[in-house]
Amino acid sequence: MNMEYRILTLSDLSEEYWQQRFSPQLFEHSLFWLQATEQYVTKQRCKLHTLWCDEQLVAALPLYQERGFLGAKVLKNLISFYSTEVSFLVNKDYPQSGQLLYDHIINANRWHLIELGPIVSERLSFHYLNTVVAQQTNWFIHDIDSEDTYFSTRPSRLKNTLKRKNKQLVKHNFRFQIADDPTSVKQMFTDYQAIYQQSWKGQEYSDDFILAACLNAQAEQKLCFATLYIDEIPAASQIWFTQENQVSIFKLAYDPQFSSLSVGSLLSEYMTKHVLNHYGMRHIEFGMGNERYKQDWMNEKQHRYCYLVFNTKSIIGILAWLRYSVLASFKKTLTGWLGKNSDDST
């Protein structure tokens, strides 16, 4: 086998080839999503680090460079708060190619730090000193046989809430609507914005990114975008993306004036039934976060970690390690010790 490391741009490959080589399990790992992240969110020129075997793409990791502590060259994976997992993609027939690509990156480029994650920890051997800077929780449920099986295994508190609130909902003039073409996506996105701004979440960072992602997903038949209207007022709206046989819950918003009806839960129930019965989904994942309500809808969780990797073959890399790891640990220990002694003295 002839392995070759190449650095490309995100525009050098087609979406069709990307999907063919990697069969991503998350819509956020599509080439379009990465391009939109580069354009609307990070606004940083990205390099696509790739590994090829006999002229076929087998691994890819998009990175961009920034200057950090003491002018350090920091390589960052292309990700934003709209993403839940780093797009470190590996062809299933070449499971070791991810490690090989990482080895090429650290050996062929000048760098002092690498920011990598969120990622499942056991995927890589980093070779250099590293530290975990963040941990994120991802709730999910796999192998759903049917709508009845799924809802019958939900906690009693959720089932009782849905039953009670559905009885209250029918007393109103209501409708659920799915966006099924570009025009309805744009119209519904206007309603989503109105709901989002009424909620505690405030203003979105990039409406352009979300709308672009929705339109692309709709064109690929990978979008489930629905809104619950009560008396013709948009009460709750949610954006879900599908990929293969898995759906990812991306955005949730509801108008606080309808909170007594649990409109978010009612819309989630409607959309869950829709993706199971009309999209044939068997897996659902709930993005990032360990909020209690997610546990009512999902069964399992996993942790993803964000790492800082330090190039200890360079002075700046060593100094960065001292700053982020050693000094931070010392500060935490000292703060704890001072707090304990303060408590003992009172």
Cα Rg for the chain, rounded, in angstroms?
Answer: 23
Structural domains for the chain? 3-136+303-344 (3.40.630.30), 144-281 (3.40.630.30)
pLDDT tens digit sequence for 226-236: 999 999 999 99
Q: Counting Cβ atoms within 10 Å, is residue 59 exposed (0-12), middle (13-18) or buried (19+)?
A: buried
pTM value?
0.91
Q: How many CB atoms lie within 10 A of CB 15?
A: 13
pLDDT for residue 141: 97
pLDDT for residue 10: 97
Q: How many CB atoms lie within 10 A of CB 238?
A: 22
Q: In the chain, which stretches have pLDDT less than 70?
A: 121-123, 326-346
Report helix, strand or coil for 52: strand
pLDDT for residue 335: 55
